């Protein structure tokens, strides 16, 4: 049974509403970056996020197909040299965040393949999330012809679901990307509206499929890179309005 890495399911469950507003894999990569580096503003009645720059995503899995009893690991690395902007309403008034420069994000998902209601299902056993702009060097070439990313010490928050324990650690990353396709134009504009929320998203730019290899904590990244590994140069803007929510101030 072939499938997307389990991180795609976990991330989808946490950000379903936002994903409705984005149609391309490149747009999802940019949005994932914004959601991780942005400051918490989920209670805001209006939130505007923007991204302008280049992004490299590397996704590896040790289980490209699900087999009962397998223990698996998915690794996600997102590297960027972009400018980001956040503007939101908060109870105390307007909230503005600007950021630029090199960032590296690392996410790792451990899971076991079990039979749940007669279906092979990845069941999380441990997750680890972190990111930094300190001690980071990201180089994404013009026209997305190559990319590299290094981070000497990424602070990670890790949760072991089998023991119930949570702990912190630091991990290094060193990754190289090579394109495997021609440049593809990105022209996406989407909107979604319900009784509770309005979402509008626009993404323009270029992308290339890619393969990636590298080290995490000095060891080769387990598994093989997936079809979601890519290089992106894009402008993206997203507007979220919670209907009926009181304005800040």
Residue 247 lies in a domain: no
* Residue whose C-alpha is closest to residue 140's, from 152, 129, 150: 150
Q: What is the mean pLDDT of each run of 10 residues along the chain (249 residues)?
A: 48 31 48 55 69 93 94 95 81 68 94 93 95 95 96 97 96 97 92 90 93 96 91 92 64
Strand (E) or helix (H) holding 27: helix 25-37
Residue 249 lies in a domain: no
Measure the CA angle with vertex 219, ends 8 and 180; round to 5°: 55
Please give the pLDDT value at position 5.
54
Residue 16 lies in a domain: yes
Please give the pLDDT value at position 248.
47
Residue 155 lies in a domain: yes
Please give the pLDDT value at position 45.
77
CA–CA gap between residue 197 and residue 47 (Å, rounded): 11
152: CB partners within 8 A, 6+ apart: 135, 136, 172
Please give the pLDDT value at position 228.
87
Please give the pLDDT value at position 29.
59
| pTM (two decimals) | 0.78
Residue 192 lies in a domain: yes
* Residue whose C-alpha is closest to residue 38's, from 106, 94, 87, 86: 86
Please give the pLDDT value at position 18.
29
- Token couple for 163: 């023991």
- Domain with 195, as residue range(s), is 6-242
Residue 248 lies in a domain: no
CA–CA gap between residue 147 and residue 177 (Å, rounded): 5
Overall number of domains in the chain: 1
Residue 37 lies in a domain: yes
CA–CA gap between residue 115 and residue 110 (Å, rounded): 17
Residue 70 lies in a domain: yes
DSSP-derived secondary structure for 143-158: GG--EEEEEEEEEEEE
Q: Cβ–Cβ contacts within 10 Å for residue 241, how many?
A: 17
């Amino acid at each position: 049974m072939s499938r997307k890495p389990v991180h795609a399911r976990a991330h989808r469950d946490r950000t379903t509403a936002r994903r409705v507003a984005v149609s391309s894999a490149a747009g999802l990569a940019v949005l994932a970056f914004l959601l991780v580096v942005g400051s918490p503003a989920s209670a805001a009645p209006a939130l505007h996020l923007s991204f302008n720059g280049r992004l490299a995503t590397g996704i590896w899995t040790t289980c490209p197909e699900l087999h009962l009893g397998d223990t698996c690991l998915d690794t996600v690395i997102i590297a960027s040299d972009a400018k980001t902007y956040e503007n939101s309403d908060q109870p105390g008034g307007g909230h503005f965040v600007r950021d630029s420069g090199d960032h590296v994000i690392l996410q790792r998902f451990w899971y076991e393949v079990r039979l749940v209601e007669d279906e092979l299902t990845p069941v999380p056993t441990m997750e680890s999330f972190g990111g930094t702009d300190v001690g980071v060097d990201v180089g994404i070439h013009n026209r997305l012809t190559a990319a590299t990313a290094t981070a000497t010490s990424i602070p990670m928050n890790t949760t072991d679901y089998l023991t119930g324990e949570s702990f912190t650690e630091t991990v290094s990353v060193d990754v190289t990307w090579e394109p495997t396709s021609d440049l593809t134009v990105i022209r996406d504009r989407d909107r979604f509206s319900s009784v509770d929320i309005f979402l509008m998203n626009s993404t323009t730019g270029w992308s290339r499929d890619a393969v990636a290899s590298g080290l995490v904590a000095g060891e080769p990244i387990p598994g093989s890179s997936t079809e979601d590994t890519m290089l992106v140069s894009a402008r993206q803007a997203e507007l979220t309005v919670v209907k009926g929510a009181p304005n800040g101030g």
